[in-house]
Structure 1
Amino acid sequence: MYSVLFLLSSFVSASLLLLSSYAVFHTFIAPRFNPLRKLAGPPIRGLFGNHMSPVLDPFRSPKTHEAYVQKYGRNVRIRGLGPWDERLLPLDPVSVSHVLKNSTIYEKPWQSRRLITSLIGCGMLAAEGHVHKRQRRVATPAFSIQNMRALVPLVFSKGNELKEKWIEILDSAGGSSVDSARETEIDVCHWISRATFDVIGLAGFGYNFNAIQKQSDELFSAYKEMFEIAVSQGEGFRTILGIYLPTINNLFPDNRARTVLRCQEVIRRVAGKLVQQKKSRIQEGEKNGIANADKDLLSLLLKSNVATSLPPDQRISDEDILHNVNTFMFAGSDTTSLALTWTLLLLARYPAMQSRLRTELLTVVPTTPESQLTPEETESLHSTLSNLPYLDNVTKEALRLIPPVHSSLRVATQDDEVPVSYPVHLSDGTVSDQKSVRVPKGSFVHVPVEALNLDKEIWGEDAWEFDPDRWDNLPEAVQSLPGLFSNLLTFSAGPRSCIGMRFSMIEMKTFLYILLTNFVFSETDKKIYKANVVLTRPYVSRQFKMGSQCPLLVKRFVKQDTVSVP
């Protein structure tokens, strides 16, 4: 018995010693040989000091990135969560382009993928490698130009429903069309979020959440709670702990973990039933020789997945279909609603620009109310909107100035040489003319979306200002920037770029048209600031715990209010 206890004690001691040695080696010794340490970078304060706050906080990050470029060049070494976490912060367009283009070398870290998967499953946001390729191949036909145009009448319908809801709010507050000068405070973030949820519900599932009118729908409540409470209001330390020790959420669930579990059960039951119903309808139609005419993304995904042109081994499971619809719900509603919210806030801050845009939009208003237009007439109206120059400029400028996705993280799956187009500043104070930077396997690369969108050396000294007219005469350096959309990183770039970019643009331009031709927006006396909580969200000063808010003063627009702005 004694010998057994002795052996057990020896084994435990040896294991602890081995684990301690491993931890010490990777924490203090291995980092000394990391080639990224040869790069210049900001100083570290304390053993566990890091640079995450100044790099990730949108209130500080523009000045931080500008200072880093001036002091340390365009490929900067920054510290992550500990001494073992040396990261590359590439502020060189060539370097960023290389990282985003080579998605098999630079993947999303397992930590990010585990967090996403724990919430919405392993859809295109979380999948990597052949799984991501297979899912993207199946989904791509659903996002064709033709299919996106077919969703235009749906977007107009929900935009008009939001308009009517706001008119109802204004009328109840005394701001009737007779008293057009009466302003009422409306939290545009709250209402636009509801409207985009409605849009993506119908466009994604063919399911009407009816969120503009009420919040009682079970599936809507499940999605909303999971995205707002579990994601944007989760506690940082507990979230990180749950990523590294996922069993803790099962053994000792906190309010966030219980909320996620409850919401996921509703989504699996209700949304899962929708998947099976649509799948059965498509199969039944094929048996009877009747093509399914549904245009929602779920139906298009299911039809694409059974297409004869797709090899059987390239098809995805019903579970993967549901995970990707969940992904569309998250990525398609939250990002677009925030982009619209920030655009309205910017236009409220610059009333002359708002008036100028309204004047342009009023030139294409049809004599027939939008709600009475045929689908073909609605699509024609949207085509006209898409070609309006100032609307296009305003949309681009808002997406440039405040991208909903502040930054992104990648991890090197192998040793790699990242090309550079600027001299490389080294930690010894010298500047090298080397053509690349070595990134060792396992190192994180911080992709600075906002930084390249706001770079003064590329966009000009007024890069931090809202100036839609800049798009009529862009600096030549802008052409060097990677980006799926207009040399902006807002929709990312490369194989993992945003598949729903076209749909997002349809929503933005349609909603701006409907809202600006019916309402006038101005600022309240409440201070609104940006915070990076998964996405860049608006908050009222000293009201962070109340969640995202963007209150604006809204009044009815009547035609005689039109002011011609040159």
Structure 2
Amino acid sequence: MSLILYVLSPFLAVFLYIFYQLVVAPRFNVLRKLPGPPVPTWFGNHLQHVLNPTVTPKVYDIFVKRYGRSVRIRGLGPWDERLLTLDPVSLTHIVKNTAVYEKPWQSRALITSLIGCGMLSAEGQVHKRQRRVALPAFSGQNMRSLVDIAFKKGIELRDAWVDLLPAAGSETTSAARIDVCQFLSRVTFDVVGLAGFDYSFNSIRDETNELFVAYRDMFEVAISQGSAFRTLLSIYLPRINRLFPDKTVRTLDRCREVIHRVAGSLIQDKKQKIAEGEKSGDPYDGKDLLTLLLKSNTATDLPPEHRISDDDILNNINTFMFAGSDTSSLSMTWTLFLLAQHPEIQDRLRAELLSVAPEGIRDLSELTEDQVQSLHNALSALPLLHNVTRESLRLIPPLHSTLRVATQDDEVPTLYPVHNRDGTVNEGKHSFTVPRGTFVHLSVEAFNLDKAVWGEDAWEFNPDRWDNLPEAAQRYPWHFSSILSFSAGPRACPGLRFALIEIKTIYYILLTNFVFRQTEDEITRHNVVLTRPYLRGKFKDGTQCPLLVSRFTPS
């Protein structure tokens, strides 16, 4: 008998430990003092309710009315009690305290498996070191060359769309059904390729470039079309996932090999050009982000311990490709979609854009570089263009939400009184405890659509709201114009200026040449890393947003 107990004791100890962690410990979690929606089954959760952009605005509204702005939700199981914060003071506290609130290792593992450990997934000193090296590349002076690149690629996109439209005077309809999402994805790849590392994808006209195909397949096949099961397997059991590879795993392996080979050679070529320039006394004057990043990394005033490796350089180039192309293309896609739904705003915006059109120029491709810069300066001062850009980013932020995990127990301050679990309001309590290991859901969309901040029309597309913002909206400037679309705090998007230059330039070229109208297709939003458009019932067909596009003819 004693021998049996001796043999079974290790298994019994493991069972008791697991039982305690999964069943007993959650019952003493201080987060359970917060109110939250019920869970109908033992393994039920609320993830679909807080991550699905087709329902989240209504869900958040219900939560605030029933449970206040500090809400306890269920994650993957009864042991996974999470915090959903809808309080602006709490959010500010969490995003600023990056040493206490980090991205969960699961999120970092997924991002790293795709694009390496760049600024999106790095934490602590590694993130600070990478950001310190990268920030000089995004200065205003360095962004000057981006204007000309974005303008030329916008003209190339215009010409590609003109070729798809019926010829003038033809008997067919004057509009063409164009998937604007796919084309805008190509143009942003081209812009980021040239601005990022002086590499021409030429994807607007030709989708065969191996590096473009690798990035595209990684984003679309692996991220958009990958199964939830395989994603979880790749995070928690990566060796098993690779031991039994499916199409997604094989695609990722192929893409990573191409990116590491081609992009890695680009880094070495740039380093050689910089070294040769220093040796000859004629410094290499490349304006792309890779060159600027390499120069920043070898600057004499940067201590050796603050420099980053070639692998870090490659990882951050991959990060620029993902964050700089996917987010911008989706921002522009949703803007054109909203303008197609609101033709009167589209007409007003087009009239404003035409008011700064260069005089005496028959075709925009004839503009000199100085004229393009002058046009960009004029666009930067247009109020309705700025309002439409902000309103679109507010209403449909590319990043729907993000996760943090508490690395230690923390007392979180609140603006609104904390509700008790029984539904009563504790008017005198303006903080609550978050225990170590708690997942925290930070919803960009929730704050962008908060009716208490933006008014009762917060869920509507109304660019004119920006001419007279409510006081509550002005109270939290975040990183950009009182919205969270570019995040906030030490991890705020460093490419804000880059994105605004690119998208405003593309808006000008497209809206002064084309008119956009809705098709009969029903476009739905899905949160697949970013908020992407799909045709209802055709998710497996991939991201798409078809619109009716016709030539604009001035009256």
Shorter-chain TM band: over 0.9
- Match for 1:512: what amino acid? Y
Q: Residue 510 of structure 1 is aligned with which of 505, 514, 519?
A: 505
Matched-pair contact (CA < 8 Å) for 2:66–2:423 = no
CA 1:492–1:197: 2 relative to 1, 3 Å: same
Which residue of the partner structure matches residue 44 of structure 2?
49
Which residue of the partner structure matches residue 394 of structure 1?
388
Q: CA deviation at 1:253?
A: 1.1
Which residue of the partner structure matches residue 457 of structure 1?
452
Q: CA deviation at 1:237?
A: 1.4
Percentage identity across paired residues of the two chains:
62
Q: In structure 2, the residue corresponding to 1:486 is in which secondary structure?
A: coil
- Match for 1:196: what amino acid? T
- Match for 1:405: what amino acid? L
Q: Residue 118 of structure 1 is aligned with which of 107, 113, 119?
A: 113
- 1:92-241 correspondence runs (5 A): 92-170=87-165, 174-176=166-168, 182-241=174-233
5+ residue gaps, structure 1: 561-566
Matched-pair contact (CA < 8 Å) for 1:181–1:555 = no
- Could you tell which deviates more after superposition, 183-192 or 15-24? 15-24
CA 1:520–1:181: 2 relative to 1, 3 Å: farther
Q: State the alpha-carbon separation in 1 of the partners of residues 309 and 444 from structure 2.
A: 33
- Match for 2:341: what amino acid? R
Matched-pair contact (CA < 8 Å) for 1:75–1:89 = yes
- Match for 2:498: what amino acid? F
Q: State the alpha-carbon separation in 2 of the partners of residues 165 and 46 from structure 1.
A: 53
Q: CA deviation at 1:176?
A: 2.7
Matched-pair contact (CA < 8 Å) for 1:180–1:556 = no
Q: State the alpha-carbon separation in 1 of the partners of residues 351 and 9 from structure 2.
A: 77
Pair 1:407-2:401 in alignment: yes
- Match for 1:182: what amino acid? S
Pair 1:495-2:490 in alignment: yes
TM-score by length of 1: 0.95
Give the length in aligned residue pairs. Answer: 551
Q: CA deviation at 1:507?
A: 1.1
CA 1:180–1:452: 2 relative to 1, 3 Å: farther
TM-score by length of 2: 0.97
Cα deviation per residue 1:152-193 (whole Å; 9 max; x = unaligned)?
Answer: 1000000000000000111xxx24388897111000001111
Pair 1:378-2:372 in alignment: yes
Q: CA deviation at 1:372?
A: 2.4
Which residue of the partner structure matches residue 417 of structure 1?
411
Q: State the alpha-carbon separation in 2 of the partners of residues 153 and 167 from structure 1.
A: 21
Which residue of the partner structure matches residue 313 of structure 1?
305
Q: Residue 275 of structure 2 is aligned with which of 283, 286, 298?
A: 283
- Match for 2:308: what amino acid? I
Which residue of the partner structure matches residue 434 of structure 2?
439
Q: State the alpha-carbon separation in 2 of the partners of residues 513 and 130 from structure 1.
A: 40
CA 1:198–1:515: 2 relative to 1, 3 Å: same
Give the RMSD, CA atoms, in angstroms: 1.5
Cα deviation per residue 1:400-439 (whole Å; 9 max; x = unaligned)?
Answer: 0000000010000111111101111111232112121110
Matched-pair contact (CA < 8 Å) for 1:279–1:302 = yes
Matched-pair contact (CA < 8 Å) for 1:453–1:488 = yes
Q: CA deviation at 1:481?
A: 3.0
Matched-pair contact (CA < 8 Å) for 1:34–1:440 = yes
Pair 1:77-2:72 in alignment: yes
Q: In structure 1, the residue corresponding to 2:141 is in which secondary structure?
A: helix
4+ residue runs over 3 A deviation: 177-181
Which residue of the partner structure matches residue 328 of structure 2?
336
Q: State the alpha-carbon separation in 2 of the partners of residues 175 and 107 from structure 1.
A: 55
Matched-pair contact (CA < 8 Å) for 1:483–1:490 = no
5+ residue gaps, structure 2: none
Q: CA deviation at 1:378?
A: 1.1
CA 1:73–1:82: 2 relative to 1, 3 Å: same
